[in-house]
Chains A and B, each alone.
Chain A
Amino acid sequence: MSALATDRAGHNRRWTGLLVAGLAAAGLLISLYLTVVKLSGGVPLCGPLVGCDTVNTSVYSEFMGVPVAIFGALGSAGVLLGALVWWRSGRRAGLLAAYLIGLASLPVLAYLTYLEIFVIGAICAWCVAYAVTVVAAWLVKIVMLRPSRGRSQAA
Chain B
Amino acid sequence: MKSLAFLSLLLSVIFTAPGPERLITRSGSISFYSKAPLENIEANSKTALSVLDKKTGQIEFSVLIKSFTFEKALMQEHFNENYLESDKFPKAAFKGRIDNISNIDFEKDGKHTVSVTGQLSIHGETKTITTPATITIQSGTTAANADFNISLTDYKINIPSLAKDKISNSVKIVVSLQYEKPA
Judge: A and B partners, yes or no: no
Chain A residues in contact with chain B, CB under 8 A? none
Chain B residues in contact with chain A, CB under 8 A? none
